[in-house]
Amino acid sequence: MSETILEVKDFGIEFHDHDKPERVVEHVNFSLQRGEILGIVGESGSGKSMSALAIAGLLPRKKLKKEGQILFLGEDLMTMERKKLRGLQGDEISMIFQEPMTALNPTMKIGKQVEEALRIHHPEVTAEERKQRALTWLKNVEMDDPERVYDSYPHELSGGMRQRVMIAAAMVGNPQLLIADECTTALDVTVQAQIIRLLLEINKKEQVSVLFISHDLSLIRQISHRVIVMQLGHIVEQGDVEQIFNHPKEEYTKKLIAAIPKVEL
């Protein structure tokens, strides 16, 4: 039985920071089921990251106008009270970012950052329990020595380790929706593969829905169940991953697929 976690209806974003308003996202419609991995692919400027940030509730409120609806379990995130939205962020909706080098606070210990979502959303959990859960998640993301990592600072870890820390921190509150925005772009190929495998495992085990955003079609193909292709703020095409890759309907999609390097990893 499938349950709709996320439904985006006629969504659009307009920038107002210059003299002329600029539409960066328009008429975006899609939905995401429980346990599903939905890939969004597009070049830079296609509006995919903007949409992801909007769903995570991280777009600044000033200088831009948003329209349409983003329904999370039936409730509209866009009209939701700020405080209620904060209650979802990090607890029900988590996000992993592109830059593992800078996305962690350089002066805060890894452990504190991993368990932060628990501290904010579940004050009833004791400090000891929090630490245990953080350590469990550090182990889940294949850290060799969770205890040591827990007491480390970000600069003491490699890029791949930091990104795994980000995943642990995003998952510690058992969210329903995980948004991964270009989360492998800054990493080298072997580390990329490890992250992809981890995300797939977590998705299967925790039944978390994943919105996987990337410009890299071959990654999207490896991880996603369904795919959305975006260009210049519009959805060009969406459908099952095999259908899109084997029988693309639109010219743009065909071009993108043709541009994938033929060497299989």
Partner 1 sequence: MKHYGKKLISMLLTLLAVSFLVFAAFEIIPGDPALSKLGDNATPEAIAALRAEMGLDRPFPVRYFSWLADCLKGNLGESYSYHMPVSEMIGDKLPITLTMAIMSMLLTMAVSVPLGLLLSKYAYSKLDRAGYVANQFLMSIPSFFLGILLTWFFGLILKLFTPGGFVSYKKDFAGFLGYLILPSIAIAIPKCAMSVKLLRSSILTEADKDYVRTAYSRGNSTMEVLYRHVLKNAMIPLVTFWGMAVADTIAGSIVVEQVFNIPGIGRIMLTSISHRDYPVVEAIILLIAFVVVVMNFIVDLLYRRLDPRMRRE
| Distance from C-alpha of 153 to C-alpha of 241, rounded to nearest angstrom | 39
Q: Which helix (H) or strand (E) holds 39?
A: strand 37-41
Q: Which of residues 152-171 bind partner 1 (CB under 8 A)?
A: 153, 155-156, 166, 169
Closest CA to 217 of 166, 259, 168: 259
Contact segment (CB under 8 A) with partner 1 among 89-97, 211-219, 225-233, 240-248 equals: 89-97
Shorter beta-carbon distance to partner 1: residue 110 or 256: 110
Site pattern 104..133 for partner 1 (x: CB under 8 A): xxxxx-------xx--xx------------
Which of 102, 132, 136, 158 lies at the binding interface for partner 1 (CB under 8 A)?
102
| Distance from C-alpha of 218 to C-alpha of 241, rounded to nearest angstrom | 11
66 lies in the site for partner 1, by CB under 8 A = no
From residue 194, give the alpha-carbon distance in Å to each of 149, 187, 201.
Answer: 18, 10, 11
Shorter beta-carbon distance to partner 1: residue 172 or 235: 172
Minimum Å distance from CB 240 to partner 1? 29
90 lies in the site for partner 1, by CB under 8 A = yes
Shorter beta-carbon distance to partner 1: residue 103 or 143: 103
From residue 132, give the alpha-carbon distance in Å to each of 86, 115, 138.
Answer: 24, 9, 10
Quote the radius of gyration of the chain (alpha carbons, Å): 18
Give the pair of three-digit tokens for residue 248.
């693309």
Shorter beta-carbon distance to partner 1: residue 39 or 90: 90
Which of 67, 99, 142, 216 lies at the binding interface for partner 1 (CB under 8 A)?
99
Q: Which of residues 41-60 bind partner 1 (CB under 8 A)?
A: 56, 58
Shorter beta-carbon distance to partner 1: residue 52 or 191: 52
187 lies in the site for partner 1, by CB under 8 A = no
Find the DSSP H helices in the chain.
Answer: 48-55, 82-88, 110-114, 116-121, 127-140, 146-150, 159-171, 189-206, 217-223, 241-246, 251-258
Buried b (16+ CB within 10 A) or exposed e, 211-237: bbbbbebebbbbbbbbbbbbbebbbbb
Minimum Å distance from CB 83 to partner 1? 8
Minimum Å distance from CB 253 to partner 1? 30
| Distance from C-alpha of 14 to C-alpha of 23, rounded to nearest angstrom | 4
Which of 46, 49, 51, 89 lies at the binding interface for partner 1 (CB under 8 A)?
89
Residues that bind partner 1 (CB under 8 A): 56, 58, 86-91, 94-95, 97, 99, 102-108, 116-117, 120-121, 153, 155-156, 166, 169
